[in-house]
Amino acid sequence: MTTIRIIGPGRAGRSFAFALAAVGVDVIGILGRDDDASLAADGVDVLLLAVPDTAIAEVAAAIRPVSSTVVAHCSGALGLDVLAGHEHVGSLHPLVSLPDPVIGAARLGSGSSFAVAGDQSLADLVQALGGRVLEVPPKARAAYHAAACIASNHLVALLGQVQRVAATAGLDLDVFIPLAQGALDDVLLLGPAAALTGPAARGDLATIERHRQALEASELAGYDAGVALARRLAGAAPPGELVGSGRSAAWS
């Protein structure tokens, strides 16, 4: 049986702890910032650092190397150089959001994809979870992580804008969720370009300007950025300014 210790009692660390324990991995505790981590690599096969990216190098450096232990981190953007000093290293980044340990554990064990690098034992953990291993070249990790953030974090932020704008029309966010879910289904079925609909896709600048006139000034930058992305996807050159709008549409 594989044994693992986790440093980081946050959402990611506890999600991994619950998910791995559920598939038979022996989880030997979770250490927090107030615990002495110097001997954390002792007595386990894998030591997983589920800490913020900015803390990984410092935490790794504080751990006494053990030649038989794999020291790994959960960062999607960082390479293995931040684990310098340890003989066996790796990274294990789940391509799912982990909003809390219960939901996170369920998602980790539901056939998710993981960007894996380094020691083979990490790919074995993914296999135990029933997941898919993604091999991302070291130089492409930042781009990979940027794509992940756009797909998740930016999408959530965009729906936050939907909530704010909908409220000005006296409507709740949940009215628009089926529309968003349908759009995601269309992307999966048809691809982004074929799934795109709406005024930006068909070049209806008059409707876009009506939208802009209705929006609060604080919402324009986000709206204009969305229009620019839609126009790019549609293969249209985005205009730099709408005629008669009196306001610059920063679409270039």
Task: Give the residue range(s) of CATH 1.10.1040.20 domains in the chain.
Answer: 141-233
Architecture of domain 3-136: 3-Layer(aba) Sandwich (3.40)
For every residue of 114-140, DSSP letters joined together read: EEEEE-HHHHHHHHHTT-EEE---GGG
Strands (DSSP E) found in the chain: 3-7, 26-31, 46-49, 70-73, 88-94, 113-118, 132-134
Long-range contacts formed by 125-133: CB under 8 A, 24+ apart? 125/2, 125/4, 125/20, 125/25, 125/46, 125/92, 126/92, 128/2, 128/20, 128/23, 128/24, 128/25, 129/19, 129/20, 129/23, 130/23, 131/94
| CATH annotation of 141-233 | 1.10.1040.20
Tens of pLDDT along the chain (252 residues) come to: 799 999 999 999 999 999 999 999 999 999 999 999 999 999 999 999 999 999 999 999 999 999 999 999 999 999 999 999 999 999 999 999 999 999 999 999 999 999 999 999 999 999 999 999 999 999 999 999 999 999 999 999 999 999 999 999 999 999 999 999 999 999 999 999 999 999 999 999 999 999 999 999 999 999 999 999 999 999 965 545 443 333 433 333
Task: Give the residue range(s) of CATH 3.40.50.720 domains in the chain.
Answer: 3-136
